[in-house]
Amino acid sequence: MMSPLEQYALLLGMIAGTAGLVGCVYLIGRSFGKPRREEGKDVPASSGRLSSEPVWVRYHVRYYGLALLFLAFDMEMAFMYPWAVVYRKVGLEALLDMGVFLAILFLGLLYGWSQGALKRR
Amino acid sequence: MTVFLVLVMLFAGAYLVAVLEGWTSTGRLRFAGPFWAAVALLGRESIVPRKPDRVLYETAPVLLLVSAVLAAAVLPLGPHLVIADLATGALAVNAALAYVMVALVMAGWGPDGAYAMVAGWRFLGQLVAYSMLIVMPITAVAMRAGSLVTTTIVESQAGIWNALTQPLGFVLFFLAAMAVCFLPPFDLPTAPGELAGGIEAEYAGPRLAVVRLARMVLVVSLSLAVTVFFLGGWLGPFLPGWAWTSLKTLVVAATMLTAGRYVPRLRGEHVMEWGWKLGIPLALVNIFWVGITLVLRSM
Amino acid sequence: MITGARKGETSWLRRLAARASSKELAAFVVPGPEVARAFGLDLGAAGLRVVPSPRHASVLVVVGGLPEGLRDAASVIYAQMMRPRAVLVLGSDTASPLPGPDVSAPMDQESLSAAVARLRRAFAEGAWDPGVEDYAPEAAATETRYTCPMHPEVVQKEPGACPKCGMDLVPREVSSGESDGEEEEEEEAGELHHGSMDHGEHGSGGHEHMDHTDMGFMSMVEMTRDLQPSGDGLRMEWVEVPFGPLFPGLPGGLALTFTLDGDTVACVQSGSAVGRGGGCLQGVPVDDLLEHLGRIDPLSPVAYRVLALRAVENAAGVEPARATAYLGALEHERVVSHLGWLSSFGYLIGYEWLHRRAAGLQLALLRDDTGEGETLWGDLSDLLQRLRGATLLRRRLEGVGRLRTARAAEYPGPVSRAAGLPYDVRSEEKAYQDLGFEPAVQEGNDAYSRLMLHLDEMERSQEIVQAVGSVSAPDDLGVQDGISGEGDATVETPRGPARLRVRIEDGMVRSAELETPSGRHAQLVEDVALEHEVADALAGVASLDLSPWGMTR
Amino acid sequence: MAQAFFTGFFGLAAIWFGVVVFRTSSMVRSALALLFSQAAIGAMFLAMQTEFLGVLQIMMMATEMAIMAIFMVMYMMDPGGLGGMDMTHQKRLSIAAGIFGGAAAVAVSLLGGWGTVGPSTMPEAQVAALGEELLGRSMLVFETAGITILTAMIAATAVAIERRR
């Protein structure tokens, strides 16, 4: 049984290891020779036309309303985990407690719903 | 040692999943298929698009693979066959999976191609839809186990699988899992017919090979998560634990791969609307259902 | 050696990779898979995996020769494919400006399989070669222009500062096609979508390197004051994205361009890269008219042959008795063509099962064209049953590509019949009346109702084919030569009524006017695409069942 | 010792990413840099053996910063950074503020009496303790947090949706 710290170190090592693996893959790929620079080869593929415009424009994301609601829900989940862990020990009280909490949040969802925030714009 | 074993099984699983995918798409079961496909990809050129955000373009495949591997690292194949048996394992899975989205957003923005960019932001929207359906069912599972430790969660199902005690959560989590590894009908970021490959469109050769590998590992990790959280992980008669886990995982993966072929791709707005108007309320109902049953039993 | 080999001596590792790439042939099809299927070619069975992006393809498959409208597009696609790559040409032995071809074969399944086998060998042996020259068609040539990120309408040949805001101009590659000559046009485009971000007032030029202090804290209100707002009142920048002529989700040759505001279509330009129209028929001897017209649209050759026949008979004043003999052929082709559309549509909306099933049936029906195999008709009705019951399919398509009924009424054919208007040329023809023909009609006027209408039509056509029995297509005109006169005929092709008016003088076509359904329906593209999310816009366009070959360039 | 090293390492990583946020001219890059800066802080928490906090931080920052990225792409000029804009402004003031703030932080960390470092409890116990705290003493705080989040939701919706009325 490893100590927590050892486990974190292990995970960190796996990140490095995976990156290394990818590096090896690229090395093998490289050993087959360099890619040949040719006209139009590196232009992003778009249905047989050379797209000349840079596409990095101010992109219109249509679900920002939902994204904002999501942030709130994400936040709330932070409380759910510790609650879930002690739930069986505490029992009914925990149920009511979290019931109130979720009810409050559900109100928020309903409000957003009523305002059409759940719809794509 | 454990690390080595688990990783070997993980990548073996990825290979088998690749075989399964080839079978679902071509109808022929070729065990050498993925190998040749991989070698062919390694042997092909791989260029960087015209004016990319090089950092994002190169990081994306690595990050995708890393997050898939880390997600699997905290999930047990057997009682002691787990790389890192974290105290917050169930949470750590989510943490790892969150970076799948980050990777795809990078892959979308990096190459400065229109199809890829639309695809990348599409997947962020998909995350907004499925994320809660990953988190909430896991919470319900943790309630029953009284712990976030994945091994404890498996042991808590010794009596009866979570899939049976909380079917609602199981279904939601299964669908959300498919959405995480953007399998059909949730393949909005790769949509061949709509975006000519989407985020994959600009990756070729070895880079594409890494993306494909990461995708396969991701499928395995998610299937493993379904197995651990809902199908009683390694529990089962006769066979050794790891065998049961692998068996269940492969079955789940096969189901995920085949299911999507018989329905059309969902519309992005539907994924979001259904996720929030149907999914989240149901997930909350599931939590309360589990809560009430637990309280009643404790009385 | 293959034309698209990689440079280098062969080593064991490379030989292994060559072997692998010969096993895993990934094909990008020109004009498109639907054309291959229309010719009865099963690429999958021959061992070619069709892929959506040229980046993933190793073989460029050209079906039935390269239409000159697609030459540039095809050469760009080939230029964007990764080496080792090769060209396979079917039904022709040249495909300039593409190199090679490495392998060419006539258009039938056997020769295709043989060609693929040869291709595999070519890859296995010649994927690497010491002597490799670049492929540089002028269509793929790019030159660098310098433009201002804030003012795309500013485009110069040499670097410098933007005259409007003084920012450093950034280099950007343009295809040498659209250089100076088209710059004005490009400028308008710029004005149209981001040119309007003209915020010279805080650009306050002169600065080598502007930073935010010049612009206050970038008040978006000022900056976007004069951008045109989207549906939700936000003002963003738009970008022009090509969805054709060689886009995997749409029929090859359909040159579609969406201007996207985020993921939503703000402007549409559509056209065809392969359309011919009736002009090409002038000065053709009448005897060849059949062949010429039959070659106009590979997606429904029979209908056009019948059209030619009837027009000539009409001109010669012959009683069009023989025309009725071709009902079977017409209706059989309708079933086949609708199946082909179903398959492509299934691919577009990511319905893998539909894509494969429909394609399989289409090819099978093309093989034994009597459809005698009762099993085939059985499978067909199974397919129809299953699609009618598919709930998610309905949810996916309902409301997509909806038209105003009044608008649909102007476009006779499946589109208007899917809008509840029972007009159909066939119901006026005696031969059909004798068979008790009733045009199929669907309400809804959206992509789903069009899909359902295609299903109904297949059912009816199948009944007719079974009733008539013979499905032989016209192969000769059988009119005495040297005829003269005016001919006018209309035939309900799978995509709607096509009309041909010819003036024939002693055996030569003096003038010919061809009205094709797709030529008309092309005008609907904007209606179905505008203001929709890109996937829905594409589904809407596809639901019109356009044939680029019938559209005019 | 190793603990101190990793804490420091991730601390520096967090700072470096924080610098990148302003050194780059691409909005997406800077948003993602902030993301990884926050993730590095999460890693610091892990190195300091507060597992729940660390994992939570790593998880939440991924989604939240990504969502920040969409707003930056929507509302910032030239999100691709093609113009090579300089994201820093009011340089003198900010440098001064930076130095002062840094100095203050260092001073606090050095001069503040931190008491004796207690033995670190096992992560599992931490989570349980946190849960009991939530349901026990700080239940009110917990519920208030709920109200706060609700307010945030309503405010956000109202602001975001109002525009198209």
pLDDT tens-digit map of B45-79 = 988 888 888 899 999 999 999 999 999 999 999 88
**Residues C274-284, mean pLDDT to the nearest whole number:** 74
Q: What is the pLDDT of residue B209?
A: 94
> H-helix or E-strand containing D101?
helix D91-111
Contact A67/B131, CB-based, under 8 Å? no
C34 has pLDDT over 60:
yes
- Residues in B closer than 8 angstroms to C55, CB to CB, are 197, 201-204, 208
Among residues of chain A, what percentage have pLDDT more than 90? 16
**Residues D26-53, mean pLDDT to the nearest whole number:** 91
How far, in Å, are B9, B15, B77 from residue B5 at the CA level? 6, 15, 10
pTM: 0.90
Counting DSSP H helices and E strands in chain A, the numbers are 3, 0
* Residues comprising chain B, all counted: 299
pLDDT tens-digit map of D113-165 = 788 777 777 888 888 888 888 888 888 888 888 889 889 888 888 887 755 44
Distance CA C195, CA C259 (A): 14
Q: Tokens 């042991």 correspond to what residue?
A: B155
pLDDT tens-digit map of A16-41 = 999 999 999 999 999 888 888 888 88
SS3 per-residue string spanning A42-58: CCCCCCCCCCCCCCCCC
Test the B interface: residue of C50, C53, C142 with most B CBs within 10 Å: C53
**Residues C359-371, mean pLDDT to the nearest whole number:** 81
Which is it for the CA torsion D21, A11, B120, C52, positive or negative?
positive
Residue C373 banded pLDDT, cuts 50, 70, 90:
low
Tell me whether C494 touches chain B (CB under 8 Å).
no
pLDDT tens-digit map of A77-94 = 888 898 899 888 888 888
Burial class (CB in 10 A: 0-12, 13-18, 19+), D106: exposed
C204 has pLDDT over 50:
no
Residue of chain D nearest C207, judged by CA positions? D85
Q: What is the pLDDT of residue D165?
A: 45
Radius of gyration of the CA atoms of chain C, in A: 26
Q: What is the pLDDT of residue C161?
A: 78
Which is it for the CA torsion C364, C366, C371, C373, positive or negative?
negative
**Residues B237-266, mean pLDDT to the nearest whole number:** 91
Instruction: Say if residues D96 and D36 touch (Cβ distance below 8 Å).
Output: no
**Can you name the residues that pair with C60 across neighbouring β-strands?**
C28, C87
Instruction: Say if residues A97 and A61 touch (Cβ distance below 8 Å).
Output: no
What rounded mean pLDDT belongs to chain C?
81
Instruction: Say if residues B157 and B233 touch (Cβ distance below 8 Å).
Output: yes
Residue C131: how many other CB atoms lie within 10 Å: 7
More confident residue, C409 or B86: B86
**Residue A48, SS3 per DSSP:** coil
Test the A interface: residue of B75, B109, B115 with most A CBs within 10 Å: B115
Least confident of A54-63, B84-93, C82-91: A54-63
Tell me whether A66 touches chain D (CB under 8 Å).
no
**Can you name the residues that pair with C49 across neighbouring β-strands?**
C26
Contact B73/A11, CB-based, under 8 Å? yes
Contact A101/D153, CB-based, under 8 Å? no
Among residues of chain C, what percentage have pLDDT more than 90? 24
The interface residues of chain C toward chain B in range 45-64, judged by CB-CB distance below 8 A, are 49, 51-53, 55-56, 58
Alpha helices in C324-421 (DSSP H): 327-348, 352-367, 374-389, 391-397, 405-409, 414-417
| Residue C137, phi then psi, degrees to nearest 5 | -75, 150
Distance CA C540, CA C447 (A): 6
Distance CA C50, CA C61 (A): 10
Distance CA D101, CA B28 (A): 65
Asked, as a colleague might, if the bond just before A4 is cis with ω within 30 of 0, I would say no
The CA-to-CA distance between both ends of chain A, in Å, stands at: 52
* Residues comprising chain C, all counted: 553
Distance CA B87, CA D163 (A): 45
Test the B interface: residue of D17, D59, D65, D153 with most B CBs within 10 Å: D59
Distance CA C245, CA D163 (A): 39
Cα of C123 to nearest chain B Cα, Å: 11
Amino acid, res. D157: T
The CA-to-CA distance between both ends of chain C, in Å, stands at: 38
How far, in Å, are B42, C195, C508, D80 from residue C148 at the CA level? 39, 11, 58, 13
pLDDT tens-digit map of C417-449 = 988 888 888 888 888 888 888 888 888 888 999
Contact B113/A45, CB-based, under 8 Å? yes
Distance CA A97, CA A92 (A): 8
Amino acid, res. C236: M
Contact C534/B194, CB-based, under 8 Å? yes
Of D55, D62, D123, the CB nearest to B102: D62
Among residues of chain B, what percentage have pLDDT more than 90? 65
> H-helix or E-strand containing B211?
helix B205-230
Q: Tokens 């609700």 correspond to what residue?
A: D150
**Residue A62, SS3 per DSSP:** coil
Report the complex ipTM: 0.90
Q: What is the pLDDT of residue C67?
A: 86
How far, in Å, are B34, C47, C63, C80, C362 from residue B193 at the CA level? 23, 21, 20, 19, 20
- Residues in B closer than 8 angstroms to D58, CB to CB, are 95, 98
Query: Which pair of tokens denotes residue B191?
Result: 């949509």
